[in-house]
Amino acid sequence: MQEKKRIALIWLRNDLRISDHYGFYKASNECDQIFAYYTFDKRHFKETHWGFKKSGKFRAKFLLESLRELQKELSTNNITLIIDQNCASEGIPRWIEKLLVTDLYYQNEWTSEERIVSERLKKNLSEEIKIHSFYDQFLFHPDDIPFGIKNLPEIFTVFRKKCEKYCSVKPCLPKIRCFPPENRLLQNFEIPLLTDLGFTNFETHPNSAFPFEGGSNSGMQRIQYYFWETNKLSFYKQTRNGLVGIDYSSKLSSWLSLGALSAREIYWQVKKYENEFKKNQSTYWLIFELIWRDYFKYISLKHGDKIFQIEGILNKKYNWDNKIEKLDSWINGTTNEPFVNANMIELSKTGWMSNRGRQNVASYFSKNLLIDWRIGAAYFESQLIDYDVHSNYGNWMYVSGVGNDPRDRKFDVSWQAQKYDSQKKFQNLWIK
């Protein structure tokens, strides 16, 4: 008796790559045919009740570029990327039925919006469909960390030291096989345009610190440039608090945020650089930042929806103010602090802000203006090209005194401006 043909559908969300992708790797080994699926959830591009879109134009542009690049990469392996406009919980069952899919693969997401879609999808699937869900967004895999999620340390340093001592980073997965041409669908799927998502076309600002395009190839080109061509990686620790230009930091967070690059790919490129060129504090510091990223994902996994609640994971109460005039002055860069204003103007014009800037504007928002920190986090969600739900809300809680920093610090913005922009080069670039 002939064995039933196994057909895989890979549901893509924040894992827009083909290399070092657990789902593609497993499906290519286990199944006879593979299709990939991505859908544009219209809710992601709607306006919030604070007057800005949930996902703004900079994020949308980078997403579209990433999908176009992925579509080309998949095509070289004769894998069709299905583009849908329906909610995944409705769209995926239809394609499963149409393509006679036997196996569904997808990366686990646990924050509320994503979790609700996953749960609805499972209810809409036949019991005959084999579901393969997996964690593929970490540097240290959940199976490998030296504590259970419930016992995860609340202090980053404890987490980092234990993981560094007891964990190893898994090697990148091998390239998947190329499927025969008949694997592809004859139907042509177009990636939407910016205008289709409700935005007008725009040019990248000439002063942008992030003038890069989306997609895995662009991310790998950035690694090639920052690591191997210029050796900027060797000076990362000294330059990472910079404010002007494209090279004060690696800028890899944007490709990480959509999963166009995996944390493992970056980690092993750093290790290769250390072995072949130079190992120092700066090379370690990039890995250190990858561990911070992991940490906020684990904090989110441990505490669930508490990361979206006003009292945060510390259950601390403050008297928050939600006056719209204060919010508008912060968004528009018209506060009493020029350093805050310059960073906010940069964000509105480019979709980018330095790490130093983010800490200062978030501290000013929550500690000086005393506005509900979640509104600031939502604005960052709208604007930042490299928005990552776990790092974004984790950092906002941290700075606002309801997260993983029990010291409840407040940034002296004027002092920070003097220290990091003493010649006002950055402020003069954005404040005319």
Q: Which two tokens stand for residue 170?
A: 């898994």
Query: Do 242 and 423 form a contact (C-beta atoms < 8 A)?
Result: no
Work out the percent of the chain whose per-residue pLDDT is above 90: 94
- pTM of full prediction above 0.85: yes
Give the Cα separation of 46 and 52 in Å (integer): 8
pLDDT digit string (tens) for 283-295?
999 999 999 999 9
Residue 367 has a pLDDT of 95
pLDDT digit string (tens) for 30-44?
999 999 999 998 889
DSSP string, 262-287: -HHHHHHHHHHHHHHT--SHHHHHHH
Give the Cα separation of 178 and 180 in Å (integer): 7
Average pLDDT of span 372-381: 97
Query: Do 170 and 141 form a contact (C-beta atoms < 8 A)?
Result: yes
pLDDT digit string (tens) for 311-368?
999 999 999 988 888 999 999 999 999 999 999 999 999 999 999 999 999 999 999 9
Map out the domains of the chain with their CATH numbers: 1-136 (3.40.50.620), 137-171+216-307 (1.25.40.80), 309-430 (1.10.579.10)
Query: Do 359 and 343 form a contact (C-beta atoms < 8 A)?
Result: no
Distances (CA, A) of 201 to 64, 194, 198, 382: 12, 6, 10, 17
* Structural element, H or E, at residue 302: helix 281-303
Residue 2 has a pLDDT of 60
Distances (CA, A) of 376 to 25, 48, 87, 304: 38, 12, 27, 20
Query: Do 366 and 399 form a contact (C-beta atoms < 8 A)?
Result: yes
* Structural element, H or E, at residue 11: strand 7-11
Residue 358 has a pLDDT of 98
- Is residue 233's pLDDT more than 90? yes
Q: In what order do the strands lie in the sheet with 33-39?
A: 80-84, 33-39, 7-11, 103-107, 130-134
Q: pLDDT band at residue 1, thresholds of 50, 70 and 90?
A: low
State the greatest distance between any 2 C-alpha atoms of the chain, in Å, as a whole number: 78
Provide the 3-class DSSP secondary structure of residue 48.
Answer: coil
Q: Which of 106, 103, 98 is nearest to 185 (CA)?
A: 98
Give the Cα separation of 311 and 430 in Å (integer): 34
- Is residue 296's pLDDT more than 70? yes
Q: Which of 94, 86, 89 is nearest to 106 (CA)?
A: 89
The DSSP 8-state label assigned to residue 126 in this structure reads -
